[in-house]
Amino acid sequence: MQAGDKAGLALFRDNMAYIGVQDGIVCLQRNLSLGAGWNTLSDGYEEASVTIPKATTPPGYYGGGSANQSVWFRLHADIAPASDLLGTFYYSFDGSDFTQLGTPYLMNTTYFFFIGNSTDTTATYTNPVLWEDLADLDVFRVNDTYYYSADSFAFSPGAPILKSYDLVNWEFIGHSIPFLNFSDPAAYSLEDGQQAYVRGVWASSMRYRPSNGRFYWIGCIDFNQSYVYSADDPTGEWTQTGQIATCYYDCGLLFDDDDTPYVAYGNTNISIATLNSDLTAQVTTTSIFNATFYIEGSRLYNINGTYYVLNTEPASREWTLKSSGGIFGPYEQQILADRPPSGTPGSGYPHQGGIVDTPAGDWYYMPFIDDYPGGRVPALTPIYFDSDGWPRLPSNDSIALPHPYPQTPVLLPTDTLYGLDNFMGPALGPQWEWNHNPNTSAYSFADNHGLILNTATVTSDLFRARNTLTHRILGPNSTIELDISNMQAGDKAGLALFRDNMAYIGVQDGIVCLQRNLSLGAGWNTLSDGYEETSVTIPKATTPPGYYGGGGANQSVWFRLHADIAPASDLLGTFYYSFDGSDFTQLGTPYLMNTTYFFFIGYRFGIFNFATEELGGSVTVNSFDMVAGMA
């Protein structure tokens, strides 16, 4: 910036306010307005200001060092018509601790400017509503907030949680299972030569209990027993509060009107179990329906005294069981969705989901679509109840059609879905999951920013390397910057297109290589470590001093991966490297992703660092940047 320049963030309309920085001072300017002919009536006035500490100012016209040349602004705008209508501005000099500046700004509600501070209520959406692998979903509403729980298999933490205010725009907010403390701890932590691929968190259920204000998650693990976790705040700390010696396979949880907890579960023979009040034991279980074909994926509802169980006939149809005679039946069965088209070329049929109502009383069905190689992604369609009380689609192709938003759109922060992550700490964002449980002593956060990955395993097998950090693909572009100055001889770090058949780009002993055709076989054990297709030596100017020589001019290497996960695309993942973070060069030939469903989890971006000789080295992941869009 030059003297007199002003940059910032505005709550933009005909009457508005903004937070900005000018000449080393952060200020809040308010009451800017347009008048006759929509010409400027007032530039407003400065209500409050704060001087940027010298340590964070760039050198030059207003002094200060160059330790940090960034300033962060945040704006919270409550645009619900019946809310306080306030916009509140915040600033930060470290990107972590934000401080409110001035008093909140009252937005006007006149229509004359037509464009509002909120989004157009006539907006439409198309499916999938979120192109990320979030299968076996359970969706429900608490007041004006929708919550979404999904599977995660052996990735940790488990059972991701998302929230929305309009059923279309979602953000990650946490996990119900902070650590996979199940009955096979070595396997879930990649220890003692064991692994837990395609085990762990499958179709499970999450619900809110009005009587005590707590959230509950329940699910069967390893076809053996069911675990219960709960929390006062879904974004906060979850704890295990129950363990029941019954497998509630593909279960759906309901807190009934009298607060009794019930769980619908099973395949083909569907049962409902009554649990005790604190969800630590089963009281009774009753078979409620024995189908003549295979069904699973139960979701249980009480809607105005009529009980419903939704089930899927994988992977093509959704069925409804309905009882007007009480929770234990008798139940009848009718079709809800019969091989409905998804609208996504090359995909499977939408199926296995739940239903949810809006505050206005409108109902929606949210299934997932088999969209491999990316995984299983959520879709949304309105439904209605016919005169006999059966839920119906408006038409069997409704999932493939655009629809008006269920309610006024509310845009949420997108940083948990895509964009730049500088790993500011003190914890990873809720969008991240490790491959199996991590060694928590083998990663930390750098003082300024960056994720330090110490080697946690001595192996040549990426499938068995602990502390591989994964991110669902929305991209399809991803770039990471690795500081490789603390690597030891034999250490290998890089960026993987992670699944049961995969490839990666990595750096080892001063050489960038492309490893391809790694694969899992019987029992999900490693079938092949793959082979090195091609490599390039890092120029000496960019290598850290030490075991393979070179100066310290630049100790970073950048990797980029473009993964086209649209089912009807070329299905290719293409790897690139850079020694300056600007000019990227393709390495080797693109990798063809598989579209089989057997591994269930779709391809992910995976960041790894493992030792092949001895522990002790580390890399710092300075940044991860994922660009949105299905290019």
Residue-wise pLDDT tens digits, 288-325? 999 999 999 999 999 999 999 999 999 999 999 999 99
Nearest of 29, 33, 61 to residue 48 by alpha carbon: 29
264-270 contacts, C-beta under 8 A, 24 or more apart: 264/288, 264/298, 264/299, 264/300, 264/309, 265/220, 265/298, 266/296, 266/298, 267/294, 267/295, 267/296, 268/293, 268/294, 268/295, 268/296, 270/295, 270/298, 270/309, 270/311, 270/321
Query: Is the pLDDT reported for residue 106 higher than 90?
Result: no
Top pLDDT among 63 and 569 is at: 569
pLDDT of 57 reads 44
Q: What does the alpha-carbon distance between residue 534 and residue 274 come to, in Å, rounded to a whole number?
A: 59
**What percentage of residues in the chain have a pLDDT greater than 70?**
92
Q: Residue 374: helix, strand or coil by DSSP?
A: coil
pLDDT of 467 reads 98
pLDDT of 53 reads 87
403-404 and 391-392 beta bridge pairing:
unpaired
Sign of CA dihedral 48, 53, 56, 61: positive
Q: Report the predicted TM-score, pTM, of the whole model to 2 decimal places.
A: 0.81
List the structure tokens of 209.
Answer: 């209990």
Mean pLDDT value across residues 522-544: 88
pLDDT of 68 reads 47
Predicted confidence band of residue 42 (pLDDT cuts 50, 70, 90): confident
Bridge partners, 462 (sequence order): none
Query: Is the pLDDT reported for residue 208 higher than 90?
Result: yes
Q: Residue 554: helix, strand or coil by DSSP?
A: coil
Predicted confidence band of residue 60 (pLDDT cuts 50, 70, 90): very low
Nearest of 298, 299, 333, 294 to residue 316 by alpha carbon: 294
Predicted confidence band of residue 489 (pLDDT cuts 50, 70, 90): very high
Q: Are 404 and 397 in contact (CB under 8 A)?
A: no
**Span 124-251+291-319+335-404 CATH architecture:** 5 Propeller (2.115)
CA dihedral 594, 600, 603, 604 (to 10 degrees): -170
Query: Is the pLDDT reported for residue 617 higher than 80?
Result: yes
Predicted confidence band of residue 561 (pLDDT cuts 50, 70, 90): very high
Predicted confidence band of residue 474 (pLDDT cuts 50, 70, 90): confident
Q: What does the alpha-carbon distance between residue 201 and residue 466 come to, in Å, rounded to a whole number?
A: 19
Nearest of 301, 296, 298, 326 to residue 313 by alpha carbon: 296
pLDDT of 3 reads 87
Predicted confidence band of residue 115 (pLDDT cuts 50, 70, 90): low
Nearest of 160, 117, 164, 207 to residue 434 by alpha carbon: 160
Pick the CATH number of 419-627 from 2.20.25.90, 2.60.120.200, 3.50.50.60, 1.20.1440.230: 2.60.120.200
Exposure of 47 in the CB half-sphere (CA atoms within 13 A): 17
pLDDT of 543 reads 53
pLDDT of 41 reads 82
Please state the three-class secondary structure of 218-240 as a single string.
Answer: EEEECCCEEEEEEECCCCCCCEE
Q: How many helices (H) and strands (E) does the chain have?
A: 1, 50
pLDDT of 243 reads 98
pLDDT of 310 reads 98
pLDDT of 2 reads 83
Q: What does the alpha-carbon distance between residue 627 and residue 382 come to, in Å, rounded to a whole number?
A: 30
Mean pLDDT value across residues 607-627: 96
Q: Residue 69: helix, strand or coil by DSSP?
A: coil
Compute CA distances 587 → 484, 528, 529, 555, 606, whole Å.
Answer: 19, 21, 19, 20, 18
pLDDT of 544 reads 52
Return mean pLDDT, the chain.
92
Element of type H or E holding 313: strand 306-313
Mean pLDDT value across residues 315-340: 98
Query: Is the pLDDT reported for residue 547 higher than 70?
Result: no
Compute CA distances 175 → 103, 157, 222, 468, whole Å.
Answer: 34, 6, 19, 18
pLDDT of 66 reads 40
Query: Is the pLDDT reported for residue 227 higher than 70?
Result: yes
Predicted confidence band of residue 1 (pLDDT cuts 50, 70, 90): confident
Q: What does the alpha-carbon distance between residue 408 and residue 165 come to, in Å, rounded to a whole number?
A: 9
Element of type H or E holding 624: strand 618-627
pLDDT of 58 reads 45
Fold for domain 7-106?
Jelly Rolls (2.60.120)
List the structure tokens of 366.
Answer: 């949210």
Q: What does the alpha-carbon distance between residue 449 and residue 470 come to, in Å, rounded to a whole number?
A: 19
Mean pLDDT value across residues 36-56: 82
List the structure tokens of 627.
Answer: 């660009």
Q: What does the alpha-carbon distance between residue 264 and residue 283 come to, in Å, rounded to a whole number?
A: 14
Name the one residue in this structure whose structure tokens are 């890399």.
619
Q: Which amino acid is at 363?
A: W
Q: Are 240 and 181 in contact (CB under 8 A)?
A: yes
What DSSP state is assigned to residue 121?
Answer: T
Q: What does the alpha-carbon distance between residue 273 and residue 264 come to, in Å, rounded to a whole number?
A: 6
- Annotate 378-399 with b (16+ C-beta within 10 A) or e (fewer): bbbbebeeeeeebbbbeeeebb
Predicted confidence band of residue 119 (pLDDT cuts 50, 70, 90): very low
Query: Is the pLDDT reported for residue 191 higher than 90?
Result: yes
Mean pLDDT value across residues 197-218: 98
Query: Is the pLDDT reported for residue 529 higher than 70?
Result: yes
Q: What does the alpha-carbon distance between residue 448 and residue 570 come to, in Å, rounded to a whole number?
A: 40
Max alpha carbon distance in the chain (Å)?
A: 79
Name residues whose C-beta falls within 8 Å of residue 51's C-beta, 6 or more positions apart in sequence: 24, 25, 26
137-140 contacts, C-beta under 8 A, 24 or more apart: 137/352, 137/353, 137/354, 137/366, 137/367, 137/368, 137/378, 138/204, 138/205, 138/206, 138/207, 138/252, 138/299, 138/354, 139/167, 139/353, 139/354, 139/356, 139/366, 140/206, 140/207, 140/208, 140/354, 140/356
Predicted confidence band of residue 28 (pLDDT cuts 50, 70, 90): very high
Residue-wise pLDDT tens digits, 422-455? 999 999 999 999 999 999 999 999 998 999 999 9
Can you give the residue ranges of every domain in the chain?
7-106, 124-251+291-319+335-404, 419-627
Q: Are 178 and 227 in contact (CB under 8 A)?
A: no
CA dihedral 267, 272, 273, 274 (to 10 degrees): 170
7-106 and 419-627 share one fold? yes
Q: Residue 543: helix, strand or coil by DSSP?
A: coil
Mean pLDDT value across residues 253-280: 98
pLDDT of 94 reads 83
Q: Are 375 and 133 in contact (CB under 8 A)?
A: yes
